[in-house]
A and B are shown apart, each in its own frame.
Chain A
Amino acid sequence: MEENTIICRCEDLTLADIRATIKKGFHNPQEIKRLTRCGMGPCQGSTCRELLLKEVASATGKNVGDLEMTTFRPPNKPIKVKSIMMGVE
C-alpha cells in the first residue's frame, strides 16, 4: 500500500499518519485511536478499524485477534438530536 493511502476516511488519516504513530511506540489500537482520532468518525471505524488492526499487527508481529479492539460506542448509526427528542416527547 502507498503511504498516502487513506486509512480513515472520516478523519482524513493516511497510512503514513498511522505508521508514524506506531513508530513512536504506540502499539495498542485504543491508544492510536485516541491520539489520531482514527475510528472516531461518524462511521466509528467500520471502514478503518480492520485496516488499523492489520497495520498494527504487521508492525508488531502480533495476530489481529490478539490486539485490543477499539470500542464501538452507541448509538451505532448517527442519529439526529431531533429524532431522539421524538422519543422523549
Chain B
Amino acid sequence: MKPKAEAVIIGGGVHGCSIAYHMAKKGWKNIVLLEKGTLACGATGRSVAGIRHQFGTEINIRLAKESVRRMERLEEELDYDGSIELMQKGYLMLAYSEEELDLFNCNRDLQKKIDPENLTEILTPEQAAELVPGLNLEGLYGVSYNCRDGHASPFHVTQAYADAATRLGVNIRTGVEVAEVKKEGNRVTGVVTTGGEEISTPVVIAAAGAYTKTFGEQVGLDIPVTPERHQVAVTEPLEMILGIMVISFAHGSYFKQTPHGSLLLGVGDPEHEVKDFNERPSWQFLFDMVKKTTFHWPALREANIIRQWAGLYDMTPDSQGIVGKTAVDGFYLDLGWSGHGFQLAPAIGQVMAEIVSGETPFIDVGCMCLERFERGELIPEPACV
C-alpha cells in the first residue's frame, strides 16, 4: 500500500519549513516535507538575508511588518537552541533622482498609514553620510532609512522552523526529489519521487521556487515564473564598520556587513544575467559589482573578496509572490518571491497554514493569487532590486 500523508510540502527552503511549522502548530498530522537537496540549499541559503519594512505595496508592507516582529522573537517562539543572528541596524535606500526620492516619500507615507509604528524616515545626503561615513554623495538626492530593518541568518531561520516542525511531528526528508504531482479529475492525489516512491495525499503545497512551474504543468496550470541568476561576493570579516544595508535601485546594487563581520556585495543585472537554472558565479559579475559598489562607497576598494556565489530569483511578471489556492483542488502555491522572500516567510507560513486549513488568512493575500496574471491585475513592487 502507498504511504499516505495528510499533506505534502515540496521544497525545504525557508517558506516550505515555515509552512510546515505553522500547519503542524494548527494540528495537522502526518505532514511530509520533501527537499531534493539539503534544507536552505536553494535561494534561501544563497540570499543576503536582509529584512526590512521599506516596501512600496500595501501587501508587502503588511507582510513585512508582521514578519519583522516575528523575527524579533523567533528564537523564543520556536524554542531554537541556536541563534538566528538577528541584527537590526537599518537599511538605507539611495535616491539618485527627484523621481526616486518622490517614490521613497510615497512609500514612507504608505508604510506609516498602514503601520503607525513604522520608523522609516527620509534623510538628506549629509545625514546619510553620518550613518555611513565615506558614502559618496555625488548625484545623491536623498535616502530612505529605517533603523529597525536588518539581517538574520537564512540557514538558522530555516533550521529553527524545521526543528520546531520536526518536534511537532512533521516528517522532513532531505535528498528526496519530487518528479511528479498526480491528479485525478480536478484533485491532487499524491506525488511521485524520482526514486519511484509514491506518496498519496489530498494536499500538495508547492514551495519549490522556479522549479514549481513543472508541477503546475503536470496539473494543468500555467505558472508564469522564470529563474534569474543573481550574484553576491563576500569579503573577509572586518571590524563592524557598516551596520547598515545600503541599496541603490537605480544601479541594482547593494552592500552590507553581516554580524559575523564579512561584507556582502551584490548587483542585480536582469538585462544580462542568465535566465535558467545555472547557479555558477561569473567574472563579469565581479567587474560590474566592484565598479558599482565602490562608486557608492569608495572605502570598499581596500576590502579583500574571499568568495562569490550565485542563486536564483524566481521571477514573476510583477516580481511578486504567488500565494494560496489554485483552480486544482488540494494544490497550493507559495513561490515567486524574486529577491525579497526570505524576510516574508514568517508571515506567509501562517497565511498558508490558514488557507490550507480553509480559514480566512490573518493577512489578506488575495491580490497574490495565480489568477491575477490572467486578469491583468498585477501588483508591481517599486522597492526591489
A35→B158 CA distance, assembly (Å):
11
Given contacts A42-B236, A73-B309, contact A34 B304 (CB under 8 A): no
A42→B303 CA distance, assembly (Å):
12
Query: B40 touching A44 by the CB < 8 A rule?
Result: no
Given contacts A87-B287, A88-B291, contact A34 B305 (CB under 8 A): no
Q: Does B159 contact A (CB under 8 A)?
A: yes
Nearest-Cβ distance from residue B153 to partner chain A, whole angstroms = 9
Stretch at the interface among B141-149, B182-190, B294-302: B294-302
Given contacts A73-B308, A74-B308, contact A35 B159 (CB under 8 A): yes
From 4 to 59 in chain B, residues with beta carbon under 8 angstroms from any chain A beta carbon are 38-41, 45
Q: Which of B41, B290, B304 contacts A85 (CB 8 A)?
A: B290
Q: Does B281 contact A (CB under 8 A)?
A: yes
A81→B304 CA distance, assembly (Å):
6
Q: Which of A37, A42, A79, A81 contacts B260 (CB 8 A)?
A: A37
Query: B291 touching A81 by the CB < 8 A rule?
Result: no
- Could you tell me the dominant secondary structure of chain A's interface residues? mixed
Q: Does B73 contact A (CB under 8 A)?
A: no
Query: B306 touching A81 by the CB < 8 A rule?
Result: no
Chain B residues contacting A41 (CB-CB under 8 Å) are 236, 306
0/1 interface trace, chain B 282-295, chain A, CB 8 Å (1 if under): 01001100110110
A35→B306 CA distance, assembly (Å):
19
A30→B41 CA distance, assembly (Å):
9
Nearest-Cβ distance from residue A17 to partner chain B, whole angstroms = 12
Query: B294 touching A81 by the CB < 8 A rule?
Result: yes
Q: Does B372 contact A (CB under 8 A)?
A: no
Chain B: interface residue count, which band? 20 to 34
Nearest-Cβ distance from residue B371 to partner chain A, whole angstroms = 37
A80→B287 CA distance, assembly (Å):
12
Q: Does A14 contact B (CB under 8 A)?
A: no
Q: Does A8 contact B (CB under 8 A)?
A: no
A17→B45 CA distance, assembly (Å):
21
Chain A residues contacting B325 (CB-CB under 8 Å) are none
Nearest-Cβ distance from residue A87 to partner chain B, whole angstroms = 6
Chain A residues contacting B303 (CB-CB under 8 Å) are 80-81
From 152 to 167 in chain B, residues with beta carbon under 8 angstroms from any chain A beta carbon are 155-156, 159
A35→B155 CA distance, assembly (Å):
6
A63→B294 CA distance, assembly (Å):
45
0/1 interface trace, chain A 20-47, chain B, CB 8 Å (1 if under): 0000000010110011010011101000
Given contacts A78-B236, A85-B290, A88-B287, contact A73 B307 (CB under 8 A): yes
Given contacts A34-B40, A34-B155, A88-B287, contact A81 B281 (CB under 8 A): no
From 166 to 198 in chain B, residues with beta carbon under 8 angstroms from any chain A beta carbon are none
Query: A75 touching B305 by the CB < 8 A rule?
Result: yes
Q: Does A1 contact B (CB under 8 A)?
A: no
Chain A residues contacting B82 (CB-CB under 8 Å) are 35
Taking A74-B308, A81-B304, A85-B291 as known contacts, 12 extra A-B pairs with beta carbons closer than 8 A to each other, sorted by chain A number, are A30-B41, A42-B304, A44-B306, A73-B308, A74-B307, A75-B305, A78-B236, A78-B305, A79-B304, A80-B302, A81-B305, A82-B302
Report 18 cross-chain contacts, Cβ distance below 8 Å, ordered by A residue. A30-B38, A44-B307, A73-B281, A74-B281, A74-B283, A75-B305, A75-B306, A78-B306, A79-B304, A80-B302, A80-B304, A81-B293, A81-B303, A82-B301, A84-B286, A85-B290, A85-B294, A88-B291
